[in-house]
Amino acid sequence: MELPQNPFQRSLDGNTRYGCWAGFGTGYATEILATTGFDWLLIDGEHAPNTVPSILSQLQAVAPYSSAPVVRTVNHDPALIKQLLDIGAQTLMIPMVDTAEQAARLVAATRYPPNGFRGVGGGLTRATRWDSVENYLARAHEELCLIVQVESRTGVDNAEAIAATEGVDAVFVGPVDLSTGVGHAGNPNHSDVQAMIRRTLEVTHAAGKAAGILAPAEADARRYAQWGFDFIAVGIDISLLHQAAIDTISRYKSDIPQPKSSLGY
């Protein structure tokens, strides 16, 4: 059996790709998203109630569709990274990366020796199709995509070195954490934050890597697309359901309060 191709990696061809956060933690909900036309889906293991088994069920649920799955980890734990790769995740997004040294360590966690320290699961793992993929140990890295998140002033200061790290494929800006960390909580559109976002984009592209960002507000997403971001998350499934439910009941009841986002969107 051939090594399965990574659809997200192959979609990064210079055209902006639009995605959605998948936060419900179930294969059923994520499969619904996969049928709607998003180019990619972020299966969120950081803030959503996901575990390794629930992430597996979502990878299986979206496999027949064209929406490419990206899995976000909760932290930098190499043991968890190993588990996620073993269940078949090919694109990982890692939060809170502040230095090139951290980025290099994360790369090593995705590689087998001698290029890293990923443990060998062999026939136990979905990634190898239970030992059916030829030369998996030698070729696995060819279809892996590592996205690191820059979400702090330190990360922005080190973005050039982070992006230049061999094995890092993309840098994703977290505008909410970034704006909060630099003293503009709830206001990612503050001019200082916008300048930091643009600088991160520019040094990432200068390193020949792809850049992504979260932008649920349409005006923000369109601006970032004009700037040249390669992949943009334009929706969050939980927020979409919440707002749609409020809009629906508001047609029949006049006392429904409209929510105000604490995230600046």
**Catalytic amino acids?**
47
Two tokens, residue 256: 């429904």
Beta bridge partners of 221: none
Coil, strand, or helix at residue 203?
Answer: helix
Q: What residues have CB less than 8 Å from 248, skipping those under 6 apart?
A: none
What distance in Å separates the CA atoms of residue 2 and residue 48, rounded to the nearest whole number? 33
Q: Which two tokens stand for residue 201?
A: 């984009």
Q: How far apart are CA 250 and CA 60, in angstroms?
A: 36
Q: Which of 242, 217, 248, 253 is nearest to 232 (CA)?
A: 217
Measure the CA–CA gap between 62 and 201, rounded to whole angstroms.
29
Residue indicated by tokens 């992504």: 212
3-class state of residue 128 by DSSP:
coil
Helices (H), 40-190: 52-62, 78-86, 100-109, 136-139, 153-157, 159-164, 175-181
* SS3 at position 92: strand
Closest by Cα among 43, 41, 45 to 65: 41
d(CA 132, CA 128): 6
